[in-house]
Chain A
Amino acid sequence: MTNNSAKSNLTATADVLRELPDIPRRDNEPVFDEPWQAEVFALSLSLHEQGVFTWTEWAHTLSSTIKEAQRDGDPDLGNTYYLHWLSALEQLIIDKNLGDAAQLNKLHKAWDTAARNTAHGLPITLP
Chain B
Amino acid sequence: MNNNETTAASKASKPTHEHTHDHEHSHLDETELRVRALKSLLSEKGYLDPEALNVLIDTYQHQVGPQNGARVVARAWTDSTFKQWLLEDASAAIASLGFTGRQGEHMVVVENTSDVHNMVVCTLCSCYPWPVLGLPPSWYKSAPYRARAVSDPVGVLAEFGITLPTGKSISVWDSTAEVRYLVLPEQPANTEHLSEQQLGELVTRNSMIGTGLPDPASAVSQ
Contact = CB atoms under 8 A, between A and B. Distances in A.
A78 B40 CA distance: 27
Interface residues of A, number: 77
B159 interface: yes
A78 B108 CA distance: 25
B152 A20 contact: yes
What size tier do the contact residues of chain B reach?
35 or more
B185 interface: no
A32 B27 CA distance: 22
Given A98-B41, A111-B37, A79 B177 contact: no
Given A43-B39, A90-B34, A98-B47, A59 B127 contact: yes
Interface of B: 23-28, 31-42, 44-45, 47-49, 52-54, 56-57, 60-61, 102-105, 108, 123-127, 134-135, 137-145, 147-148, 150-156, 159, 169-174, 176-179, 181
Interface of A: 1-10, 12, 16-17, 20-26, 29, 31-32, 36, 38-43, 45-50, 52, 55-56, 58-60, 62-63, 66, 70, 75-79, 81, 83, 86, 89-90, 93, 98-99, 103-105, 107-108, 110-112, 115-122, 124, 126
